[in-house]
Each structure stands twice: as structure tokens, then as C-alpha cells.
Amino acid sequence: MSKNRLLLIALLLLVPLASLPAQDVDVTKLPGYINLDKIKIPGNNEDITEINLGPGLLSLLASFSDEADSAINGKLKGLISLRVKSFPVNGKRAEEIRPIMEEFDKKLRSEKWEEIVRVKKGKEFTVVSYLPGKNKVSGFFIMSLTPDEDASFINIVGNIDVAQLSKMGLGISDSTMRSIRTNWRFR
């Protein structure tokens, strides 16, 4: 088969491929994703916050440009998924959650997540980590357990660049931002 025929066939194949509708992003396959389904919130808990925002809603929110929304919209650029589970815990419940947290901790270490903060004092346990991608942050994960108070798990998946990270108002200190930048430089 001659070269020009191959070229034409390739072009004709590309046209229908390009016109296919964009498939929904499978968040579970993305590197920054942490499966929070393992955390079962007991039904008798009243003060529960469970948030699950997928790529559709987040991109929609980020695309709005009216003034009322602009403050939050600017913070959502590059975010693909946002998941939160937060609930009050008593001593017994805290003991049940601790092994799950340790399992998450192992996963974070094996997948080379970088820690921003780690607090392990008595029964209190907090880890704030991010997954560095190529010049981007691919994921954020926060797990925090304060016995007899509350437990919170937050997983943000996205392609967040350093400028965007500062805009998100996460209160990351300057020294941590510097270390994130340095980390990117050496990847």
C-alpha cells in the first residue's frame, strides 16, 4: 500500500475518533485517588458530613464566572474530585478507625506521597500529604483523628499547579510551599 493511501486512511480514521464524545473520567484510576469507601460511618451518628463532588460538577463550578461565584471558582481550577468524610467519634469508634488510618498511611508511603504534616501524639493522629506529579499536584489527602472529638478524611484529586495551590486558600505555610516547589524541581 502506498504512503499516500496510508496517510488518507489515517486521517479518515482520526476524524471519527476525534468526534467521539469525551468519556467521563474514571476518578478511581487516577493516581491521587484514595478510596474512602473503607470508612463506614455508623448510622446512629447525627453530625455527619459526607461530600462527594465529581469531575462534572467541579468543572461546571470552575467554569462559572459571575462575581458571586468567582471566589470559589478560582479555587476549583484543576480539581477533578473532592471527597470528604467527617464525623464525631468516641473512644471505641476511634479504636475502630485507627487500623484503617494505618492502612491508608502504608498506602501513602508505598505510593510515594509527600507529607506536609504528621502529628502522632497519644491517640491523636493527623497526616496531611500530597502526591507530586510532573510540575503538578495529583492529589491531596488529609486524615485526622482526635479521639472523643471527630475524625475527618479529605481526598482531593486533580492536576493542580503551584500557582493554583496558592490560590486555593488551604493555608499551606510558605516553607511548605517552598519545599513543594523544590520537590517538583528535582522530579
Position 12 contacts another protein (CB under 8 A): yes
CA count, 13 A, side-chain hemisphere, 121: 4
When the beta carbons of 112 and 121 are compared against another protein, the nearer one is 121
For residue 112, the one-letter residue type is: K
Binding residue (CB under 8 A) for another protein from 152, 177, 179, 184: 152
When the beta carbons of 8 and 162 are compared against another protein, the nearer one is 8
| Residues 6 or more apart whose Cβ sits within 8 Å of residue 49 | 84, 85, 86, 87
3-class secondary-structure state, position 186: coil
C-alpha cell at 32: 491521587
Position 151 contacts another protein (CB under 8 A): no
Partners of residue 82 on adjacent β-strands: 53, 156
For residue 98, the one-letter residue type is: R
Write the secondary structure of 97-132 as one string of H (helix), E (strand) and C (coil). Answer: HHHHHHHHHHHHHHCCCEEEEEEEECCEEEEEEEEE
Position 148 contacts another protein (CB under 8 A): no
Binding residue (CB under 8 A) for another protein from 97, 101, 142, 160: 142
List binders of another protein among 74-133 (CB under 8 A).
75-76, 82, 84, 86, 116-119, 121, 126, 128
- Contact positions toward another protein, by CB under 8 A? 3-4, 7-8, 11-12, 14-15, 18-19, 21-22, 49, 51, 53, 56-61, 63, 69, 72, 75-76, 82, 84, 86, 116-119, 121, 126, 128, 140, 142, 144, 152, 154, 156, 168-173, 176
